[in-house]
Amino acid sequence: MDLAVSIPSIVYRLWELKVLSPVLRTHIMEPLSELGFSQFAGRPTLAWTSIFTASILLAIMVTSLASAKIEELVVELKRDVTVVLVTHNSFQAFRVSDYVAFM
C-alpha cells in the first residue's frame, strides 16, 4: 500500500498550513496578481488562496488513493492480459510484475 494513503488528513492539513500555503502564496499567487490574473483583478483574497491550496491538497490525497486501487486492479488483470506499467516506484514494479525492465 502506498505510504501517502496511510497518512491521516490532519497531517496533510498541517502540511498545507505550514508549507504549501506560504509557498503558493509567495511563488504563484503574488506573481499572478501582479500580472492581473487574480479572480477580481486585484490582490488574491484569502478565500481564493485557500481554495487553490485545498484543490492541490485534495489532488495529492486522491492521487495516492487512486494509485493503490490501480495497483490492486493490475494484480487482478495480469492473470488474463498483458499489462505494461510505467512507474518510478521500483518496489511497486516488483510487487505487481512478472518481468521488470529498467531504462
pLDDT tens, residue by residue, 36-84: 665 544 555 666 667 777 788 888 777 777 777 888 888 887 777 777 7
- Residue found by looking up cell 518510478 in the block: 88
pLDDT band at 24 (very low <50, low <70, confident <90, very high): confident
**3-state DSSP assignment of residue 27:** helix
Rounded to an integer, what distance in angstroms lies between the CA atom of residue 27 and that of residue 23? Answer: 6
